[in-house]
Structure 1
Amino acid sequence: MILWFSTFAVSVVSALLPFLPMEAYIIAAGAAEGGTATAISLGVAAGAGATIGKLVWYEAARRGIDSRWAQRKLAKPKVKEGYQRWVERMRGRPWYAVAVMFVAASVGVPPLLVMAAVGGLLKMPLWAFVPTVFLGRSIRFTLLFMGVDLAVH
Protein backbone atom coordinates (compact mmCIF):
# COMPACT_ATOMS: atom_id res chain seq x y z
CA MET A 1 0.00 0.00 0.00
CA ILE A 2 2.91 2.34 0.71
CA LEU A 3 4.23 1.78 -2.82
CA TRP A 4 0.78 2.65 -4.25
CA PHE A 5 0.59 5.93 -2.31
CA SER A 6 4.19 6.85 -3.09
CA THR A 7 3.55 6.15 -6.79
CA PHE A 8 0.50 8.41 -6.66
CA ALA A 9 2.44 11.19 -4.89
CA VAL A 10 5.46 11.03 -7.18
CA SER A 11 3.13 11.10 -10.18
CA VAL A 12 1.43 14.29 -8.96
CA VAL A 13 4.80 15.98 -8.47
CA SER A 14 6.10 14.70 -11.81
CA ALA A 15 3.02 16.06 -13.59
CA LEU A 16 3.60 19.48 -12.07
CA LEU A 17 7.37 19.59 -12.61
CA PRO A 18 8.38 18.40 -16.08
CA PHE A 19 12.04 17.93 -15.14
CA LEU A 20 11.08 15.01 -12.83
CA PRO A 21 10.17 12.19 -15.25
CA MET A 22 7.73 9.60 -13.97
CA GLU A 23 9.37 7.00 -16.18
CA ALA A 24 12.53 7.02 -14.02
CA TYR A 25 10.42 6.28 -10.94
CA ILE A 26 8.59 3.49 -12.79
CA ILE A 27 11.87 1.76 -13.63
CA ALA A 28 12.91 1.75 -9.97
CA ALA A 29 9.49 0.84 -8.53
CA GLY A 30 8.78 -1.72 -11.24
CA ALA A 31 12.06 -3.47 -10.49
CA ALA A 32 11.19 -3.62 -6.78
CA GLU A 33 7.69 -5.05 -7.23
CA GLY A 34 6.53 -7.53 -9.82
CA GLY A 35 3.36 -9.03 -11.18
CA THR A 36 0.58 -8.01 -13.52
CA ALA A 37 -1.83 -7.04 -10.72
CA THR A 38 0.81 -4.82 -9.16
CA ALA A 39 1.61 -3.23 -12.52
CA ILE A 40 -2.05 -2.44 -13.13
CA SER A 41 -2.56 -1.09 -9.61
CA LEU A 42 0.53 1.11 -9.79
CA GLY A 43 -0.34 2.21 -13.34
CA VAL A 44 -3.74 3.40 -12.13
CA ALA A 45 -2.16 5.17 -9.13
CA ALA A 46 0.30 6.91 -11.44
CA GLY A 47 -2.49 7.78 -13.88
CA ALA A 48 -4.60 9.31 -11.12
CA GLY A 49 -1.67 11.35 -9.80
CA ALA A 50 -0.74 12.57 -13.28
CA THR A 51 -4.33 13.61 -13.92
CA ILE A 52 -4.40 15.71 -10.76
CA GLY A 53 -1.09 17.34 -11.65
CA LYS A 54 -2.15 18.12 -15.23
CA LEU A 55 -5.46 19.46 -13.95
CA VAL A 56 -3.47 22.17 -12.13
CA TRP A 57 -1.87 23.20 -15.46
CA TYR A 58 -5.28 23.07 -17.18
CA GLU A 59 -6.91 25.30 -14.55
CA ALA A 60 -4.03 27.78 -14.50
CA ALA A 61 -4.32 28.21 -18.26
CA ARG A 62 -8.13 28.32 -18.20
CA ARG A 63 -8.20 31.04 -15.57
CA GLY A 64 -5.18 32.86 -16.97
CA ILE A 65 -6.60 33.40 -20.47
CA ASP A 66 -8.73 36.27 -19.16
CA SER A 67 -5.81 38.02 -17.45
CA ARG A 68 -4.47 41.33 -18.71
CA TRP A 69 -1.15 39.68 -19.59
CA ALA A 70 -2.86 37.03 -21.77
CA GLN A 71 -5.06 39.62 -23.43
CA ARG A 72 -1.97 41.69 -24.32
CA LYS A 73 -0.41 38.58 -25.87
CA LEU A 74 -3.59 37.81 -27.80
CA ALA A 75 -3.57 41.35 -29.15
CA LYS A 76 -0.59 40.35 -31.30
CA PRO A 77 -1.91 39.26 -34.72
CA LYS A 78 0.26 36.14 -35.06
CA VAL A 79 -0.60 34.87 -31.57
CA LYS A 80 -4.27 35.65 -32.00
CA GLU A 81 -4.34 33.85 -35.36
CA GLY A 82 -2.86 30.68 -33.86
CA TYR A 83 -5.22 30.81 -30.91
CA GLN A 84 -8.25 31.32 -33.17
CA ARG A 85 -7.17 28.43 -35.39
CA TRP A 86 -7.14 26.07 -32.40
CA VAL A 87 -10.46 27.43 -31.12
CA GLU A 88 -12.05 26.75 -34.52
CA ARG A 89 -10.65 23.21 -34.62
CA MET A 90 -12.06 22.43 -31.19
CA ARG A 91 -15.34 24.34 -31.24
CA GLY A 92 -18.25 21.95 -31.61
CA ARG A 93 -15.90 18.97 -31.97
CA PRO A 94 -15.18 17.69 -28.47
CA TRP A 95 -14.17 14.28 -29.84
CA TYR A 96 -11.35 15.91 -31.81
CA ALA A 97 -10.06 17.46 -28.60
CA VAL A 98 -10.45 14.14 -26.78
CA ALA A 99 -8.50 12.30 -29.50
CA VAL A 100 -5.61 14.78 -29.43
CA MET A 101 -5.55 14.77 -25.62
CA PHE A 102 -5.64 10.95 -25.48
CA VAL A 103 -2.67 10.64 -27.83
CA ALA A 104 -0.76 13.21 -25.76
CA ALA A 105 -1.61 11.37 -22.53
CA SER A 106 -0.81 7.87 -23.76
CA VAL A 107 2.04 8.42 -26.25
CA GLY A 108 3.42 11.78 -25.14
CA VAL A 109 3.28 13.48 -28.53
CA PRO A 110 2.42 16.31 -28.40
CA PRO A 111 3.66 16.75 -24.81
CA LEU A 112 0.83 16.38 -22.32
CA LEU A 113 1.95 19.39 -20.27
CA VAL A 114 1.52 21.61 -23.32
CA MET A 115 -1.78 20.00 -24.27
CA ALA A 116 -3.13 20.36 -20.72
CA ALA A 117 -2.46 24.09 -20.94
CA VAL A 118 -3.95 24.26 -24.44
CA GLY A 119 -7.01 22.38 -23.18
CA GLY A 120 -7.42 24.95 -20.42
CA LEU A 121 -6.88 27.90 -22.76
CA LEU A 122 -9.50 26.55 -25.13
CA LYS A 123 -11.78 25.70 -22.21
CA MET A 124 -12.03 22.03 -23.10
CA PRO A 125 -14.87 20.59 -20.99
CA LEU A 126 -13.68 18.94 -17.76
CA TRP A 127 -15.98 15.98 -18.49
CA ALA A 128 -13.74 15.31 -21.49
CA PHE A 129 -10.34 16.37 -20.10
CA VAL A 130 -10.22 14.44 -16.82
CA PRO A 131 -11.22 10.93 -17.98
CA THR A 132 -9.17 11.24 -21.17
CA VAL A 133 -5.98 12.15 -19.33
CA PHE A 134 -6.64 9.53 -16.62
CA LEU A 135 -7.23 6.73 -19.12
CA GLY A 136 -4.31 7.67 -21.37
CA ARG A 137 -1.85 8.06 -18.51
CA SER A 138 -3.04 4.91 -16.73
CA ILE A 139 -2.55 2.86 -19.91
CA ARG A 140 0.88 4.38 -20.54
CA PHE A 141 2.14 3.84 -17.01
CA THR A 142 0.64 0.35 -16.68
CA LEU A 143 2.38 -0.74 -19.87
CA LEU A 144 5.65 0.74 -18.64
CA PHE A 145 5.33 -1.08 -15.29
CA MET A 146 4.57 -4.32 -17.18
CA GLY A 147 7.58 -3.78 -19.43
CA VAL A 148 9.88 -3.32 -16.46
CA ASP A 149 8.36 -6.40 -14.82
CA LEU A 150 8.98 -8.44 -17.98
CA ALA A 151 12.57 -7.21 -18.26
CA VAL A 152 13.50 -7.72 -14.61
CA HIS A 153 11.55 -10.72 -13.38
Structure 2
Amino acid sequence: MVILWLSMFGLSIASALLPFLPIEAFIIGGAAARPGTTAAVSLGIAAGAGATIGKVIWYEAARRGVQSDWAQKKLAGSKIQPFYDRWSARMEGRPVFSGALMLVSAFVGIPPLLAMAAVAGLLRVPMWVFLPTVFLGRSLRFGLLFLGADVALH
Protein backbone atom coordinates (compact mmCIF):
# COMPACT_ATOMS: atom_id res chain seq x y z
CA MET A 1 0.00 0.00 0.00
CA VAL A 2 2.87 2.37 0.79
CA ILE A 3 4.34 2.01 -2.70
CA LEU A 4 0.94 2.62 -4.31
CA TRP A 5 0.36 5.65 -2.05
CA LEU A 6 3.77 7.15 -2.87
CA SER A 7 3.30 6.41 -6.57
CA MET A 8 -0.08 8.13 -6.56
CA PHE A 9 1.41 11.10 -4.72
CA GLY A 10 4.26 11.44 -7.22
CA LEU A 11 2.06 10.92 -10.27
CA SER A 12 -0.40 13.54 -9.04
CA ILE A 13 2.41 16.10 -8.70
CA ALA A 14 3.46 15.33 -12.27
CA SER A 15 -0.14 15.51 -13.48
CA ALA A 16 -0.66 18.87 -11.77
CA LEU A 17 2.40 20.29 -13.50
CA LEU A 18 1.83 18.67 -16.91
CA PRO A 19 -1.83 18.82 -17.92
CA PHE A 20 -1.40 16.18 -20.64
CA LEU A 21 -0.84 13.52 -17.92
CA PRO A 22 -4.37 12.65 -16.73
CA ILE A 23 -4.33 11.61 -13.08
CA GLU A 24 -7.80 10.12 -13.55
CA ALA A 25 -6.35 7.19 -15.54
CA PHE A 26 -3.91 6.45 -12.71
CA ILE A 27 -6.73 6.67 -10.19
CA ILE A 28 -8.73 4.02 -12.02
CA GLY A 29 -5.63 1.82 -12.07
CA GLY A 30 -5.11 2.44 -8.36
CA ALA A 31 -8.70 1.49 -7.60
CA ALA A 32 -8.24 -1.73 -9.55
CA ALA A 33 -5.01 -2.53 -7.70
CA ARG A 34 -6.25 -1.72 -4.20
CA PRO A 35 -10.03 -1.96 -3.72
CA GLY A 36 -11.88 -0.74 -0.67
CA THR A 37 -13.12 2.39 1.03
CA THR A 38 -10.04 2.80 3.21
CA ALA A 39 -7.77 2.62 0.17
CA ALA A 40 -10.00 5.11 -1.68
CA VAL A 41 -9.76 7.64 1.13
CA SER A 42 -6.01 7.14 1.57
CA LEU A 43 -5.25 7.30 -2.15
CA GLY A 44 -7.59 10.28 -2.56
CA ILE A 45 -5.58 12.13 0.07
CA ALA A 46 -2.30 11.13 -1.60
CA ALA A 47 -3.51 12.36 -4.99
CA GLY A 48 -4.97 15.52 -3.44
CA ALA A 49 -1.72 16.32 -1.63
CA GLY A 50 0.36 15.77 -4.75
CA ALA A 51 -1.98 17.86 -6.89
CA THR A 52 -1.83 20.65 -4.31
CA ILE A 53 1.97 20.69 -4.42
CA GLY A 54 1.90 20.87 -8.21
CA LYS A 55 -0.59 23.73 -8.19
CA VAL A 56 1.47 25.63 -5.61
CA ILE A 57 4.31 25.59 -8.14
CA TRP A 58 2.00 27.13 -10.78
CA TYR A 59 0.77 29.65 -8.17
CA GLU A 60 4.31 30.70 -7.25
CA ALA A 61 5.45 30.92 -10.87
CA ALA A 62 2.57 33.27 -11.66
CA ARG A 63 3.00 35.29 -8.46
CA ARG A 64 6.70 35.83 -9.06
CA GLY A 65 6.33 36.25 -12.80
CA VAL A 66 3.87 39.13 -12.55
CA GLN A 67 6.36 41.04 -10.42
CA SER A 68 9.05 40.91 -13.12
CA ASP A 69 9.97 44.06 -15.02
CA TRP A 70 8.92 42.44 -18.28
CA ALA A 71 5.44 41.58 -16.98
CA GLN A 72 4.97 45.02 -15.45
CA LYS A 73 5.82 46.67 -18.78
CA LYS A 74 3.38 44.38 -20.61
CA LEU A 75 0.61 45.08 -18.11
CA ALA A 76 1.15 48.83 -18.11
CA GLY A 77 0.36 49.31 -21.78
CA SER A 78 -2.19 46.59 -22.37
CA LYS A 79 -5.91 45.95 -22.33
CA ILE A 80 -5.29 43.35 -19.62
CA GLN A 81 -4.53 45.95 -16.92
CA PRO A 82 -8.20 46.95 -16.27
CA PHE A 83 -9.20 43.27 -16.07
CA TYR A 84 -6.29 42.57 -13.70
CA ASP A 85 -7.15 45.60 -11.53
CA ARG A 86 -10.84 44.66 -11.38
CA TRP A 87 -10.14 41.09 -10.28
CA SER A 88 -7.47 42.21 -7.82
CA ALA A 89 -10.04 44.48 -6.19
CA ARG A 90 -12.59 41.64 -6.05
CA MET A 91 -10.19 39.20 -4.44
CA GLU A 92 -8.32 41.50 -2.07
CA GLY A 93 -9.63 41.27 1.46
CA ARG A 94 -12.25 38.66 0.52
CA PRO A 95 -10.81 35.30 1.56
CA VAL A 96 -14.22 33.59 1.59
CA PHE A 97 -14.87 34.59 -2.03
CA SER A 98 -11.35 33.55 -3.08
CA GLY A 99 -11.60 30.30 -1.15
CA ALA A 100 -15.01 29.42 -2.58
CA LEU A 101 -13.73 30.00 -6.12
CA MET A 102 -10.67 27.83 -5.48
CA LEU A 103 -12.70 25.07 -3.82
CA VAL A 104 -15.16 24.85 -6.72
CA SER A 105 -12.33 24.83 -9.23
CA ALA A 106 -10.44 22.14 -7.29
CA PHE A 107 -13.47 19.90 -6.83
CA VAL A 108 -15.42 20.38 -10.07
CA GLY A 109 -12.63 21.42 -12.41
CA ILE A 110 -14.55 24.40 -13.77
CA PRO A 111 -12.82 26.75 -14.20
CA PRO A 112 -9.73 24.59 -14.75
CA LEU A 113 -7.60 24.44 -11.62
CA LEU A 114 -4.36 25.00 -13.52
CA ALA A 115 -5.66 28.34 -14.76
CA MET A 116 -7.10 29.22 -11.35
CA ALA A 117 -3.81 28.42 -9.62
CA ALA A 118 -2.03 30.85 -11.95
CA VAL A 119 -4.74 33.48 -11.48
CA ALA A 120 -4.57 33.03 -7.70
CA GLY A 121 -0.83 33.65 -7.85
CA LEU A 122 -1.25 36.69 -10.07
CA LEU A 123 -3.89 38.14 -7.76
CA ARG A 124 -1.94 37.18 -4.64
CA VAL A 125 -4.66 35.09 -3.04
CA PRO A 126 -3.25 34.35 0.43
CA MET A 127 -1.52 30.99 0.67
CA TRP A 128 -3.55 30.22 3.82
CA VAL A 129 -6.66 30.36 1.60
CA PHE A 130 -5.15 28.65 -1.45
CA LEU A 131 -3.58 25.58 0.18
CA PRO A 132 -6.47 24.17 2.22
CA THR A 133 -9.13 24.82 -0.41
CA VAL A 134 -7.13 23.18 -3.20
CA PHE A 135 -6.17 20.25 -0.96
CA LEU A 136 -9.74 19.71 0.25
CA GLY A 137 -11.29 20.05 -3.20
CA ARG A 138 -8.77 17.77 -4.91
CA SER A 139 -8.82 15.15 -2.14
CA LEU A 140 -12.62 14.98 -2.24
CA ARG A 141 -12.66 14.81 -6.04
CA PHE A 142 -10.05 12.07 -6.24
CA GLY A 143 -11.42 10.13 -3.26
CA LEU A 144 -14.87 10.05 -4.85
CA LEU A 145 -13.34 9.04 -8.17
CA PHE A 146 -11.51 6.18 -6.43
CA LEU A 147 -14.76 5.08 -4.79
CA GLY A 148 -16.64 5.25 -8.08
CA ALA A 149 -13.97 3.27 -9.88
CA ASP A 150 -13.89 0.75 -7.03
CA VAL A 151 -17.64 0.21 -7.23
CA ALA A 152 -17.54 -0.07 -11.02
CA LEU A 153 -14.60 -2.50 -11.06
CA HIS A 154 -15.50 -4.75 -8.14
Amino acid at match of 1:119: A
- Consecutive unaligned residues in structure 2, runs of 5 or more: none
Amino acid at match of 1:122: L
CA deviation vs aligned residue, 1:21-69 (integer Å, no higher than 9, x gap): 1111111111121000000000000000000000000011111111122
In 1, are the aligned partners of 2:92 and 2:125 still within 8 Å (CA)?
no
When normalised by structure 1's length, the TM-score is 0.97
TM-score by length of 2: 0.97
* Runs of 5+ consecutive residues of structure 1 not aligned to the other structure: none
Shift of 1:76: 3.0
Aligned-pair identity (%): 63
1:151 and 2:142 matched: no
* Inter-partner Cα distance in structure 1 for 2:66 and 2:143: 34
1:75-108 CA distances to partner (integer Å, 9 max, x unpaired)? 2341001101111111121110000000000000
1:20-99 correspondence to structure 2 within 5 Å? 20-99=21-100
1:20 deviation in Å? Answer: 0.5
- Equivalent residue number for residue 7 of structure 1: 8
Partner of 2:120: 119
- Structure 1 runs of 4+ aligned residues shifted over 3 Å read none
Separation (CA, whole Å) in 2 of partners of 1:69 and 1:22: 34
Give the structure 2 partner of residue 104 of structure 1.
105
Tell me how far apart the structure 2 counterparts of residues 73 and 35 of structure 1 sit (CA, whole Å).
Answer: 52
Aligned to 1:129: 130
Post-superposition CA distance 1:103-151 (Å, at most 9, x none): 0000000000000011111111111110110000000000000000000
CA apart distance, 1:72: 2.1
